[in-house]
Chains A and B, each alone.
Chain A
Amino acid sequence: METLEVYGVELKSRLLLGTSKYSSLDVMAKSVRAAEAEVVTVSVRRESSRFREGQEFWRIIRDLGVRVLPNTAGCYDVREAVTTARMAREIFNTAWIKLEVIGDRDTLAPDVFGTVEAARILGEDGFEVFPYTTEDLVVCKRLVEAGCKVLMPWGAPIGSGKGLNNPFGLRALRARFPDTPLIVDAGIGLPSHAAAAMEFGYDAVLLNTAVGAAGDPIAMARAFREAVEAGYAAHRAGPMQPRDMAAPSTPVVGQAALS
Protein backbone atom coordinates (compact mmCIF):
# COMPACT_ATOMS: atom_id res chain seq x y z
CA MET A 1 0.00 0.00 0.00
CA GLU A 2 1.06 3.56 -0.62
CA THR A 3 1.59 5.63 2.47
CA LEU A 4 -1.21 7.87 3.69
CA GLU A 5 -0.24 11.40 4.67
CA VAL A 6 -2.19 13.04 7.50
CA TYR A 7 -0.99 16.33 8.96
CA GLY A 8 2.45 15.76 7.47
CA VAL A 9 2.84 12.25 8.90
CA GLU A 10 3.25 9.31 6.54
CA LEU A 11 1.33 6.23 7.64
CA LYS A 12 1.87 2.80 6.15
CA SER A 13 -1.16 1.29 7.87
CA ARG A 14 -4.66 2.37 6.91
CA LEU A 15 -6.29 0.69 9.88
CA LEU A 16 -6.56 2.88 12.96
CA LEU A 17 -7.52 0.91 16.03
CA GLY A 18 -9.16 1.75 19.33
CA THR A 19 -7.72 0.50 22.61
CA SER A 20 -10.97 -0.08 24.51
CA LYS A 21 -13.26 -3.08 25.07
CA TYR A 22 -10.52 -5.75 25.22
CA SER A 23 -10.61 -8.43 27.91
CA SER A 24 -7.13 -7.41 29.07
CA LEU A 25 -4.30 -5.03 28.26
CA ASP A 26 -2.32 -7.99 26.98
CA VAL A 27 -5.04 -8.90 24.45
CA MET A 28 -5.21 -5.22 23.48
CA ALA A 29 -1.47 -5.05 22.82
CA LYS A 30 -1.50 -8.29 20.81
CA SER A 31 -4.47 -7.06 18.78
CA VAL A 32 -2.71 -3.80 17.93
CA ARG A 33 0.28 -5.81 16.74
CA ALA A 34 -1.89 -8.22 14.74
CA ALA A 35 -3.65 -5.27 13.08
CA GLU A 36 -0.25 -3.74 12.33
CA ALA A 37 -1.86 -0.47 13.34
CA GLU A 38 0.41 2.54 13.54
CA VAL A 39 -2.20 4.78 15.14
CA VAL A 40 -4.32 3.89 18.15
CA THR A 41 -7.02 5.96 19.78
CA VAL A 42 -6.83 6.70 23.49
CA SER A 43 -8.71 8.86 25.97
CA VAL A 44 -8.24 10.65 29.27
CA ARG A 45 -10.29 9.75 32.32
CA ARG A 46 -10.25 10.51 36.02
CA GLU A 47 -7.26 8.90 37.72
CA SER A 48 -7.39 7.45 41.21
CA SER A 49 -4.20 8.18 43.18
CA ARG A 50 -4.65 4.81 44.86
CA PHE A 51 -5.07 2.58 41.81
CA ARG A 52 -3.28 4.64 39.16
CA GLU A 53 -4.81 2.49 36.41
CA GLY A 54 -3.87 4.92 33.69
CA GLN A 55 -0.15 4.65 34.34
CA GLU A 56 0.06 0.95 33.43
CA PHE A 57 -2.08 1.45 30.33
CA TRP A 58 0.18 4.29 29.20
CA ARG A 59 3.33 2.22 29.77
CA ILE A 60 1.94 -0.55 27.54
CA ILE A 61 0.96 1.90 24.80
CA ARG A 62 4.42 3.48 24.85
CA ASP A 63 6.01 0.03 24.61
CA LEU A 64 3.97 -0.66 21.47
CA GLY A 65 5.73 2.24 19.77
CA VAL A 66 2.57 3.45 18.06
CA ARG A 67 1.33 6.96 17.48
CA VAL A 68 -1.62 7.93 19.65
CA LEU A 69 -4.73 9.78 18.59
CA PRO A 70 -6.41 11.01 21.79
CA ASN A 71 -10.15 11.51 21.70
CA THR A 72 -12.65 13.77 23.42
CA ALA A 73 -15.16 10.94 23.82
CA GLY A 74 -18.12 11.64 26.05
CA CYS A 75 -18.00 15.41 25.63
CA TYR A 76 -21.36 17.02 24.99
CA ASP A 77 -20.39 20.65 24.67
CA VAL A 78 -17.67 22.71 23.06
CA ARG A 79 -16.04 23.92 26.27
CA GLU A 80 -15.79 20.41 27.69
CA ALA A 81 -14.30 19.09 24.45
CA VAL A 82 -11.75 21.91 24.24
CA THR A 83 -10.63 21.44 27.85
CA THR A 84 -10.40 17.67 27.35
CA ALA A 85 -8.34 18.20 24.19
CA ARG A 86 -5.93 20.48 26.05
CA MET A 87 -5.50 17.97 28.85
CA ALA A 88 -4.93 15.20 26.30
CA ARG A 89 -2.33 17.26 24.43
CA GLU A 90 -0.27 17.70 27.57
CA ILE A 91 -0.53 14.06 28.64
CA PHE A 92 0.17 12.49 25.25
CA ASN A 93 2.43 15.20 23.91
CA THR A 94 0.70 15.35 20.54
CA ALA A 95 -1.20 18.00 18.62
CA TRP A 96 -3.48 15.32 17.18
CA ILE A 97 -7.00 15.17 18.57
CA LYS A 98 -9.95 13.04 17.55
CA LEU A 99 -12.63 15.61 18.15
CA GLU A 100 -15.94 14.23 19.39
CA VAL A 101 -18.71 16.58 20.42
CA ILE A 102 -21.67 14.32 20.98
CA GLY A 103 -25.20 15.56 20.37
CA ASP A 104 -27.42 12.60 21.23
CA ARG A 105 -27.07 10.06 24.02
CA ASP A 106 -28.82 7.15 22.30
CA THR A 107 -27.11 7.26 18.95
CA LEU A 108 -23.92 9.12 19.99
CA ALA A 109 -24.52 11.17 16.86
CA PRO A 110 -22.08 14.07 16.63
CA ASP A 111 -23.27 17.59 17.41
CA VAL A 112 -21.98 18.87 14.11
CA PHE A 113 -22.51 22.54 15.02
CA GLY A 114 -20.48 22.13 18.21
CA THR A 115 -17.90 20.07 16.34
CA VAL A 116 -17.31 22.85 13.79
CA GLU A 117 -17.01 25.45 16.55
CA ALA A 118 -14.64 23.32 18.63
CA ALA A 119 -12.58 22.48 15.53
CA ARG A 120 -12.07 26.18 14.87
CA ILE A 121 -11.03 26.91 18.47
CA LEU A 122 -8.67 23.94 18.59
CA GLY A 123 -7.19 24.68 15.17
CA GLU A 124 -6.39 28.23 16.23
CA ASP A 125 -4.77 26.78 19.34
CA GLY A 126 -2.39 24.65 17.26
CA PHE A 127 -4.24 21.36 17.31
CA GLU A 128 -4.43 19.02 14.33
CA VAL A 129 -8.06 18.01 14.41
CA PHE A 130 -9.54 14.69 13.27
CA PRO A 131 -13.27 15.46 13.47
CA TYR A 132 -15.80 12.70 14.10
CA THR A 133 -18.72 13.86 12.00
CA THR A 134 -21.71 12.74 10.02
CA GLU A 135 -21.29 12.25 6.26
CA ASP A 136 -23.12 15.54 5.65
CA LEU A 137 -21.38 17.28 2.78
CA VAL A 138 -21.89 20.83 3.96
CA VAL A 139 -20.85 20.08 7.53
CA CYS A 140 -17.67 18.59 6.11
CA LYS A 141 -17.12 21.76 4.05
CA ARG A 142 -17.44 23.82 7.24
CA LEU A 143 -14.98 21.55 9.02
CA VAL A 144 -12.44 22.00 6.25
CA GLU A 145 -13.00 25.78 6.41
CA ALA A 146 -12.40 25.54 10.17
CA GLY A 147 -8.96 24.11 9.40
CA CYS A 148 -9.48 20.34 9.46
CA LYS A 149 -7.16 18.57 7.03
CA VAL A 150 -8.79 15.19 7.51
CA LEU A 151 -12.45 14.19 7.87
CA MET A 152 -13.84 11.24 9.78
CA PRO A 153 -17.48 10.55 8.85
CA TRP A 154 -19.28 7.84 10.75
CA GLY A 155 -20.37 4.65 9.02
CA ALA A 156 -23.05 4.01 11.66
CA PRO A 157 -23.50 4.85 15.35
CA ILE A 158 -20.48 4.15 17.56
CA GLY A 159 -20.39 0.56 18.75
CA SER A 160 -23.40 -0.46 16.64
CA GLY A 161 -21.46 -2.59 14.17
CA LYS A 162 -24.01 -1.82 11.49
CA GLY A 163 -21.47 -0.94 8.83
CA LEU A 164 -21.92 1.78 6.23
CA ASN A 165 -25.46 3.07 6.68
CA ASN A 166 -25.34 5.63 3.91
CA PRO A 167 -23.14 4.41 1.05
CA PHE A 168 -24.46 7.16 -1.22
CA GLY A 169 -23.49 9.88 1.27
CA LEU A 170 -20.06 8.40 1.84
CA ARG A 171 -19.42 8.11 -1.90
CA ALA A 172 -20.62 11.66 -2.48
CA LEU A 173 -18.24 12.89 0.20
CA ARG A 174 -15.37 11.04 -1.45
CA ALA A 175 -16.24 12.56 -4.80
CA ARG A 176 -16.50 16.10 -3.39
CA PHE A 177 -13.28 15.88 -1.34
CA PRO A 178 -10.89 14.06 -3.64
CA ASP A 179 -7.79 15.48 -1.95
CA THR A 180 -8.77 15.41 1.72
CA PRO A 181 -7.92 12.26 3.66
CA LEU A 182 -11.21 10.58 4.56
CA ILE A 183 -11.44 8.00 7.31
CA VAL A 184 -14.62 6.09 8.14
CA ASP A 185 -14.83 6.25 11.90
CA ALA A 186 -17.41 4.33 13.89
CA GLY A 187 -20.05 1.75 13.12
CA ILE A 188 -17.85 -0.77 11.36
CA GLY A 189 -18.69 -4.27 12.56
CA LEU A 190 -17.15 -6.63 10.04
CA PRO A 191 -14.07 -6.77 7.85
CA SER A 192 -16.41 -6.61 4.84
CA HIS A 193 -17.58 -3.16 6.02
CA ALA A 194 -13.98 -1.98 6.21
CA ALA A 195 -13.24 -3.42 2.78
CA ALA A 196 -16.32 -1.65 1.37
CA ALA A 197 -15.16 1.70 2.76
CA MET A 198 -11.77 1.20 1.16
CA GLU A 199 -13.40 0.14 -2.12
CA PHE A 200 -15.25 3.47 -2.08
CA GLY A 201 -11.83 5.09 -2.13
CA TYR A 202 -11.69 6.00 1.53
CA ASP A 203 -8.17 6.49 2.80
CA ALA A 204 -8.47 4.54 6.03
CA VAL A 205 -10.86 3.16 8.62
CA LEU A 206 -10.96 3.61 12.37
CA LEU A 207 -12.66 1.01 14.52
CA ASN A 208 -12.61 -0.39 18.02
CA THR A 209 -15.55 -2.49 19.16
CA ALA A 210 -15.49 -4.80 16.13
CA VAL A 211 -12.06 -6.01 17.24
CA GLY A 212 -12.14 -5.45 21.00
CA ALA A 213 -15.47 -7.20 21.52
CA ALA A 214 -14.83 -10.04 19.03
CA GLY A 215 -14.64 -13.62 20.27
CA ASP A 216 -10.97 -13.66 19.33
CA PRO A 217 -9.81 -10.04 19.04
CA ILE A 218 -6.34 -10.93 17.83
CA ALA A 219 -7.66 -13.04 14.94
CA MET A 220 -10.24 -10.34 14.14
CA ALA A 221 -7.53 -7.68 14.10
CA ARG A 222 -5.69 -9.72 11.49
CA ALA A 223 -8.90 -10.17 9.48
CA PHE A 224 -9.46 -6.41 9.47
CA ARG A 225 -5.89 -5.74 8.37
CA GLU A 226 -6.35 -8.09 5.42
CA ALA A 227 -9.75 -6.59 4.56
CA VAL A 228 -8.37 -3.05 4.55
CA GLU A 229 -5.51 -4.14 2.31
CA ALA A 230 -7.90 -5.98 -0.03
CA GLY A 231 -10.32 -3.05 -0.22
CA TYR A 232 -7.49 -0.63 -0.90
CA ALA A 233 -6.06 -2.86 -3.63
CA ALA A 234 -9.52 -3.31 -5.18
CA HIS A 235 -10.10 0.44 -5.36
CA ARG A 236 -6.70 0.95 -6.98
CA ALA A 237 -7.41 -1.84 -9.44
CA GLY A 238 -10.51 -0.03 -10.78
CA PRO A 239 -13.71 -1.91 -9.93
CA MET A 240 -16.09 -2.75 -12.78
CA GLN A 241 -19.27 -0.70 -13.17
CA PRO A 242 -22.37 -2.54 -11.93
CA ARG A 243 -25.28 -2.92 -14.38
CA ASP A 244 -28.91 -3.86 -14.07
CA MET A 245 -29.01 -6.68 -16.62
CA ALA A 246 -26.84 -9.73 -17.00
CA ALA A 247 -23.86 -9.73 -19.32
CA PRO A 248 -22.53 -13.21 -20.12
CA SER A 249 -18.95 -13.72 -19.09
CA THR A 250 -18.48 -16.73 -21.35
CA PRO A 251 -18.12 -15.80 -25.03
CA VAL A 252 -21.34 -16.04 -27.03
CA VAL A 253 -19.49 -16.37 -30.31
CA GLY A 254 -18.60 -19.92 -31.12
CA GLN A 255 -21.30 -21.53 -29.07
CA ALA A 256 -22.48 -24.78 -30.68
CA ALA A 257 -26.03 -24.69 -32.13
CA LEU A 258 -27.71 -27.62 -30.41
CA SER A 259 -31.37 -26.70 -30.17
Chain B
Amino acid sequence: MRLVVNGEPAQVAAHDLAEALVALGYEGAVVATALNGEFVPARKRAETILLEDDRIEIVAPRQGG
Protein backbone atom coordinates (compact mmCIF):
# COMPACT_ATOMS: atom_id res chain seq x y z
CA MET B 1 0.00 0.00 0.00
CA ARG B 2 1.20 3.50 -0.78
CA LEU B 3 1.56 5.62 2.36
CA VAL B 4 3.33 8.80 3.44
CA VAL B 5 5.48 8.02 6.47
CA ASN B 6 7.07 10.96 8.26
CA GLY B 7 6.69 13.02 5.14
CA GLU B 8 8.27 10.47 2.79
CA PRO B 9 6.40 8.22 0.34
CA ALA B 10 6.60 4.53 1.28
CA GLN B 11 5.26 1.22 0.03
CA VAL B 12 4.17 -0.76 3.05
CA ALA B 13 2.59 -4.22 3.19
CA ALA B 14 0.24 -3.61 6.12
CA HIS B 15 -3.49 -3.67 6.83
CA ASP B 16 -3.47 -1.62 10.02
CA LEU B 17 -1.20 0.83 11.85
CA ALA B 18 0.28 -1.80 14.20
CA GLU B 19 1.32 -3.93 11.23
CA ALA B 20 2.76 -0.89 9.48
CA LEU B 21 4.99 -0.09 12.47
CA VAL B 22 6.40 -3.63 12.42
CA ALA B 23 6.81 -3.59 8.63
CA LEU B 24 8.64 -0.27 8.85
CA GLY B 25 11.07 -1.56 11.48
CA TYR B 26 9.81 0.20 14.62
CA GLU B 27 9.22 -2.93 16.69
CA GLY B 28 10.30 -2.39 20.30
CA ALA B 29 10.87 1.36 19.86
CA VAL B 30 9.27 4.00 22.10
CA VAL B 31 7.16 5.90 19.59
CA ALA B 32 3.81 7.64 19.30
CA THR B 33 1.72 7.80 16.18
CA ALA B 34 -0.66 10.06 14.34
CA LEU B 35 -2.76 9.26 11.30
CA ASN B 36 -3.73 12.12 8.99
CA GLY B 37 -3.03 14.61 11.77
CA GLU B 38 -4.94 12.81 14.54
CA PHE B 39 -3.23 11.07 17.44
CA VAL B 40 -3.68 7.28 17.47
CA PRO B 41 -2.98 5.76 20.91
CA ALA B 42 -0.85 2.61 20.99
CA ARG B 43 -3.83 0.52 22.13
CA LYS B 44 -5.79 1.51 19.03
CA ARG B 45 -3.11 0.90 16.41
CA ALA B 46 -4.24 -2.66 15.61
CA GLU B 47 -7.81 -1.53 14.97
CA THR B 48 -6.76 1.47 12.89
CA ILE B 49 -7.19 0.31 9.29
CA LEU B 50 -4.99 2.04 6.75
CA LEU B 51 -6.09 3.42 3.41
CA GLU B 52 -4.11 4.32 0.30
CA ASP B 53 -2.22 7.65 0.69
CA ASP B 54 -2.74 7.83 4.45
CA ARG B 55 -0.24 10.11 6.20
CA ILE B 56 1.44 8.54 9.20
CA GLU B 57 3.61 10.38 11.69
CA ILE B 58 5.88 8.33 13.95
CA VAL B 59 7.63 10.33 16.68
CA ALA B 60 9.99 9.56 19.54
CA PRO B 61 11.60 11.44 22.43
CA ARG B 62 13.98 14.15 21.38
CA GLN B 63 15.92 17.03 22.91
CA GLY B 64 13.78 20.08 23.61
CA GLY B 65 13.82 23.46 25.25
Contacts and interface: CB of A to CB of B under 8 A. Distances in A.
Interface of A: 18-22, 28, 41-50, 52-55, 57-58, 61, 70-71, 73, 79-80, 83, 86-88, 90-92, 158-159, 208-209, 212
A41 B58 contact: no
A50 B24 CA distance: 9
Contacts of B41: 86, 90
B32 A20 contact: no
**Residue of A18, A71, A83 most packed against chain B (CB within 10 A):** A83
**Residue of B7, B30, B41 most packed against chain A (CB within 10 A):** B30
A44 B60 contact: yes
Contacts of A20: 63-65
A46 B37 contact: no
Contacts of B37: 79-80, 83
Nearest to A44: B59
Contacts of A86: 32, 39, 41
Contacts of A79: 37
A209 B65 contact: yes
Contacts of B26: 47, 49
Contacts of B25: 49-50
B54 to A, nearest CB: 15
**Residue of B26, B34, B62 most packed against chain A (CB within 10 A):** B62
Interface of B: 6-7, 24-26, 29-34, 37-39, 41-42, 57-65
B62 A43 contact: yes
Contacts, number: 110
B64 A87 contact: no
B59 A45 contact: yes
Contacts of A208: 65
A98 B63 CA distance: 14
A171 B6 CA distance: 43
Contact of B62 (A44, A159, A212): A44
B30 A44 contact: no
Contacts of A18: 63-65
Contacts of B30: 54-55, 58, 91
Contacts of A19: 63-65
Nearest to B43: A90
Contact of A45 (B24, B34, B62): B62
10 tightest A-B contacts by CB? A54-B60, A43-B64, A208-B65, A18-B65, A49-B25, A47-B60, A87-B32, A86-B39, A20-B63, A58-B61
Contact of B61 (A22, A28, A91): A91
A41 B29 contact: no
A47 B65 contact: no
Given A47-B31, A87-B33, A41 B6 contact: no
A97 B42 CA distance: 19
Nearest to B57: A46
Contact of A46 (B7, B29, B38, B63): B7
Contact of A42 (B32, B33, B58, B61): B61
